[in-house]
Amino acid sequence: MTTAPGALRPFDDAAIGLARWVHDRRPEIARAASDAIWAELPSYRATGLYDDVVAHVTAVFAVFTTSVIEQRDPRLDDFAFTSHHASERVAHGISLIDFLHAFRIGQIVLWSYVLEFVRSTEGQQETALGLVEHLMRTIEAGCSAAATTYLQAQQYLVADQERIALDCLEDLLAGNVPAVPVRLEAMRRAGLADGAGFVVLVCRASSEADGADPILDARRVLSRHLSGMLVPWRQELVGLVPLERFSPSTLSQKVARAATELGTTRTAASIGISSAHLGFEQTAEALLEAQVACDHLGGRREVQIFDDLSPLDYLVRRADPTARRLVDPQLRAFIAEDLSAGAIYIETLTAYVAHDMNAKSAASALQIHVNTMYYRLGRIAERTGKDLRRVEDVVNLLLAVRIASTEPPR
């Protein structure tokens, strides 16, 4: 028996001879293992990574044979090469389960060659049995290295994808179609093609759960229901969503289902959806529409499509400070007082306008007596100085209510 100085696991000459036999045949065995992986795992067949897999398997087999020849246990640092191969698997969408499965397939093929040597060489059965434990140690160390490097590569890929998605969004908002190849590829993978229909989605989320990140939670749930890019941006989640065969209305139903699912995680979301746009030069305009739609919800857990807003809703939501100053102080005081007391008069005025200034219809909608309706309208006229029989006065009053009761835009 030959033993290297300081060896952790001495092997006899027969075991070392077997290891040398395998070592010399690594290219052949590695190709046989790669063929087996290709036959068993569809995810590998779709990648075009055959040569890379052969190189990976060859290196893994070298760890087994070299550690036997050097009479020591395999170590994690023997598998430093795994990092590159793990990155390739992640980039091509191969799951961790399949990555580890491929590793085990390779070990089975390797063992079949060991058995072939044993059958063709007299008196080698004990030698093969003596290597079983060593092969298991190689598998254990290799799988541990594979899992660790895969998860690291996955984290790096996610970070890169987030950075690339943010770069794409900022390019588009600046009026520039991304020109960097990696950004163009990211948009292609997201189903976003210039000239095809898309909408912008804005999600504002909050959570009751301790330590939760509601924006990331919203992205995770929405990504299960939507294609496209979902990018955390300035305390909001901004989505670039291809319409494909969907109308904005149909898309809103998918978003509503996602919002309902999100609610089960104690995360509340207000989601605004822009109108449909063609051409990425309209991204900034679409973002504004989605933000206005989200503003309209006032924090309610709902989904709002921009196309469903009235021109009045839009004008009021985008009112600038000058428009707010134009609201008469007397009206502002009345509105503030009513808001603090339950908004009974504002509700009455809104119903009155919604029913074409028909007091009886409005009273029916509010489920109050018509005399109560007339009393409230009289009080509104008295407090505001407006004639509620004049269209101009009613419109001005409604505008004042909308402006005064709306938070300043972001």
**pLDDT for 7:** 44
pTM confidence score: 0.57
Q: Which residues, at least 6 apart from 351, have a Cβ–Cβ distance to it below 8 Å?
A: 362, 365, 366
Query: What per-residue string of b and e applies to 130-166 under the rule 16 or more CB within 10 Å gives b?
Result: ebeebbebbbebbbebbbebbeebbeeeeeeeeebbe
For domain 321-404, the question of CATH label 1.10.10.2840 is answered with yes
**pLDDT for 8:** 63
**pLDDT for 183:** 87
d(CA 73, CA 80): 16
Phi, psi angles (nearest 5°) of residue 149: -70, -35
Q: Among residues 353, 328, 343, 232, which one has the least CA distance to residue 298?
A: 343
- Residue 79 in 3-state DSSP? helix
Contact 212, 267 (CB under 8 A): yes
Architecture of domain 13-156: Orthogonal Bundle (1.10)
Please give the chain's pLDDT, 410 residues, in tens.
344 433 466 788 888 888 899 899 999 999 999 999 999 999 998 888 999 999 999 999 999 999 999 989 898 889 999 988 988 888 788 898 999 999 889 989 998 998 888 887 776 777 777 788 888 888 888 889 989 998 888 888 777 778 888 999 999 999 898 888 888 888 888 889 877 889 999 999 998 887 788 998 999 899 888 889 999 998 999 999 998 767 777 888 889 998 888 888 888 999 999 999 988 999 999 999 999 999 888 788 889 999 888 777 777 666 567 767 778 888 888 988 998 998 899 999 989 988 999 999 999 999 999 999 999 999 999 999 999 999 888 888 888 887 777 655 44
**pLDDT for 5:** 35
For the chain, how big is the Rg over CA atoms in Å?
Answer: 34
d(CA 401, CA 335): 6
Phi, psi angles (nearest 5°) of residue 203: -120, 130
Show me where the domains of the chain are located: 13-156, 192-308, 321-404
- Beta strands 267-273 and 303-305 are parallel
CATH class, range 192-308? alpha beta
